[in-house]
Structure 1
Amino acid sequence: MTSSGVATAFLVLLALAVLVGPWTLGTANRLDRLHVRTDSAWLALDAALARRAVVTRAVAVVCGQPEVRAAADEAERAPRPEREAAENRLSALLEDLDRSRLEPALAAELSDAEQRVVLARRVHNDAVRDTLALRRRRSVRWLRLAGTAPTPSYFEIAEPGVDDEPSTLTQRVSARVVLLDPADRVLMFEGFDPVRPDELFWFTVGGGVEPGEELRDAAVRELFEETGLRLAAADLVGPVWKRHAVFSFDGLGYAAVEWFFVARVPTGVEVDTSRFDDVEQRTIRRHRWWSADDLASVDATVYPVQLPEVLPDVLGGWDGTTRSVR
């Protein structure tokens, strides 16, 4: 390269640095502020959950329900990876509590503690949403502007009723399919709760079991309705996993038990989502085949949460044990 060519290249690189440098610095600073905001929001949520546990213990004494007190103790002591499940178990017990036995002041304090949890959770999840939105940009990922900061995650907890209206949890049994292609990638859908459309998450094929329906039959039916793929019940392996979850969707609370089967399909199958029902059409944005490595490295919310961790265990075959997952 001639001296003039070197000079030109140098000037181009210098111009790029002048143009890109301020943007990179500004984006990195913004991302740092978002991480600080997320951390602060978690501390506030943690404090709200701790206050709920304190009030719950007092309520448990009055109502003579040691299991409620034990659940409050468990939730307060649970490490962060297990906190969501523990808090949801406590929420389920509080849903069934006979509050007419409480003094008005204590009932009001419990209601206030629960609503503070609701508000703190929403603030926390809003912060997580904004942080993940910036982290997912290609330029941010390519330049690794997030550094070593851990990926924040939503805190999913069923919300109690408001305005003095009782809230009940709908019991729901689901059959789900871990659908694998020859490259050991699992089919996932990306969707959202209509109440919180900005909080996206990925989930496996499957849905609710109808009254009188067998789990395998429900899994086969859901697979056909959501993908257009027809398999026989005998093609399913499992159930390999079982998941308990308490969550809210479209303003309603659910206590769910999900059973996961494994099935394989050949190369080149086409996924047909034309049979989605109205809710699925409104709330599912797209689908994609994910490898375990992809799931482990992506800045996205995935259900079950442990999917990247437990997926490799079933790729080589099933040992006949149904394991609990989060």
Structure 2
Amino acid sequence: MTSSGTATAFLVLLGVALLVGPWILGTANRLDRLHVRTDSAWAALDAALARRAVVTRAVAAVCGRPELGVAADEAEGARRPDREAAENRLSALLAGLDRSVLAPALAAELSDAEQRVVLARRVHNDAVRDTLALRRRRSVRWLRLAGTAPTPAYFEIAEPGGDAEASGLVQRVSARVVLLDGADRVLLFEGFDPSRPDELFWFTTGGGVEPGEELRDAAVRELFEETGVALPADELVGPVWKRHAVFAFDGLNYASVEWFFVGRAPVGSEVDTSRFNEVEQRTIRRHRWWSAGELAGEDAVVYPAQLAEELPGVVSGWDGTTRSIR
């Protein structure tokens, strides 16, 4: 290359650096601020949950309900991966509490503590949503602008409703299918809660078990309704996993027990979502086949949360044990 050519190439590279450099720096700084915001929001939520635990212990002493105090202690001392389940157990006990026996001041303090948890959780999840949205951009992932910062996660706990019925938990048993293709990838749908359309998450095919319906039959039915894939019931493996979850969806709080089976899509199968019901049509955006490596490497919110780490075990062969997962 001639000296003039070298100079031209250098000037081009310099121009690109001057154009792209400020964007990279600005994006990295914005991402850093979002991580700080998420950490601060979690600290505020943790403080709100701790205050609820303190008030609950006071309520337990007044009412002679030691199980409330035990649940408050367990929630406050739970590790982060177990915190949602522990807080939901406490919420369920508080939902069934007769508050008419409490002194007005204590009842008001408990209600205030619960509402502060609701507000802090929403602020936290808003911060997580914004952080994940930036981290998921291809340019951010390619340039690794998130550095070593851990991927933030939504905090999913049921919220107290405005009346007794809404405050209760709807019991639900679900049959779900980990549908694999020829490359051992799992089919997931991306959807959202109608009351929080900006909080996107991925999940397996499946749904509620109808009265009198067997788990395996429900799994086959749901699989066909949601994907068009028809599998004989005896071709499903499992249940390989069992998951307990408490969550809010479309204004209702659910206590769900989910049973997971594994199925193989026939060669050449295409996903057909034309049988989606009205809610599914409104809340499911798209579907995609994921490998375990892709799940582990993406900043995606996936349910069950342990899908990436547990998937290789069922791909290699089920050992006959139904495992509890998050």
Equivalent residue for 2:204?
204
Question: Could you tell me which residue of structure 1 aligns to residue 263 of structure 2?
Answer: 263
1:267 positional shift: 3.4
SS in structure 1 of the partner of residue 210 of structure 2: coil
Residue 43 of structure 1 corresponds to: 43
- Indicate if the aligned counterparts of 2:185 and 2:291 stay in contact, CA closer than 8 A: yes
Matched residue type, 1:314: V
Report how far residue 88 of structure 1 moved.
Answer: 1.2
Q: Residue 63 of structure 1: CA displacement?
A: 2.6
Match of 1:171 in 2: 171
Tell me if structure 1 keeps the 8 A contact 2:242–2:324: yes
Instruction: Give distance in 1, aligned partners of 2:292 and 2:255.
Output: 27
- The percentage of counterpart residues that share the same residue type is 83
Long gaps (5+) in structure 2: none
2 CA distance for matches of 1:284 and 1:241?
A: 24
What secondary structure sits across from 1:230 in the alignment?
coil
Alpha-carbon offset, residue 162 of structure 1: 3.2
- Mapped partners of 1:268, 1:63: distance in 2: 62
Is 1:11 equivalent to 2:34 in the alignment? no
The CA deviation at 1:104 is 1.6
Q: Which residue of 1 aligns with 2:126?
A: 126
Secondary structure at 1:253 match in 2: strand
SS of equivalent residue, structure 2 residue 29? helix
In structure 2, C-alpha distance between the alignment counterparts of 1:64 and 1:219, rounded to whole Å: 44
TM-score by length of 1: 0.97
Residue 163 of structure 1: CA displacement?
A: 7.2
Distance 1:14 1:67 in 2: 67
Does the CA contact (< 8 Å) of 1:84 and 1:156 recur in 2?
yes
- Do the aligned partners of 1:92 and 1:246 also contact (CA within 8 Å) in 2? no
Given that 2:166 and 2:253 are in contact with CA atoms closer than 8 Å, whether structure 1 keeps it comes out as: no
How far has the Cα of 1:165 moved from its partner? Answer: 7.5
In the other structure, the counterpart of 1:151 is: 151
User: Would the alpha carbon gap of residues 165 and 239 (structure 1) be closer, same or farther in structure 2, given more than 3 Å must change?
Assistant: closer
CA offsets per residue over residues 16-45 of structure 1, 9 Å max, x none? 001001111111111110000000000000
What's the CA shift for 1:139?
0.8
Q: How does 1:1-326 map to 2 (within 5 A)?
A: 1-162=1-162, 167-326=167-326
The Cα offsets for residues 131-156 of structure 1, whole Å up to 9 and x where unpaired, read as 11111111111111111111111000
Query: Matches of 1:60 and 1:110 in 2, distance apart?
Result: 11
Corresponding residue SS for 2:204: strand
- What is the deviation of 1:66? 2.1
Letter in 2 for 1:254: Y
Distance (Å, rounded) in 2 between the aligned partners of 1:107 and 1:90: 16
**C-alpha contact 2:166 2:252 (8 A) present in aligned 1:** no
Contact in 2 for aligned 1:92/1:169 (Cα 8 Å)? yes
One-letter code aligned to 2:157: I
Q: What one-letter code is carried by the residue in structure 1 that aligns with 2:325?
A: V
1:105: Cα distance to partner?
1.4
- The CA deviation string for residues 200-224 of structure 1, in whole angstroms up to 9 with x for no partner, is 0000000001111110111000000
Shift in Å at residue 254 of structure 1?
0.5
Could you tell me how far apart the structure 2 residues matched to 1:224 and 1:165 are?
A: 33
Q: The residue matched to 2:234 in structure 1 has which SS?
A: helix
Q: What is the alpha-carbon distance in structure 1 between the residues aligned to residue 70 and residue 11 of structure 2?
A: 68
Matches of 1:97 and 1:182, distance apart in 2: 51
Which structure 1 residue ranges, 4+ long, deviate > 6 Å from structure 2? none
2:55·2:110 contact (CA, 8 Å) conserved in 1? yes
Report SS of the residue matched to 2:82.
helix
Moved more, 166-175 or 114-123: 166-175
Give 3-state SS (helix, strand or coil) of 1:267's partner: coil
**SS of 1:262 mapped into structure 2:** strand
**Match for 2:19: what amino acid?**
L
Q: What is the distance in 1 between the residues matched to 2:103 and 2:317?
A: 56
Q: Which runs of 5+ in 1 are unaligned?
A: none
Cα distance in 1 between the residues matched to 2:163 and 2:247: 20
**CA offsets 1:296-322 (integer angstroms, 9 cap, x no match):** 111011000111111111111111111
Aligned residues: 326
Deviates more, 1:184-193 or 1:157-166: 157-166
Cα distance in 1 for partners of 2:15, 2:315 equals 50
Alignment partner of 2:88: what SS?
helix
Q: SS of 1:152's equivalent?
A: coil
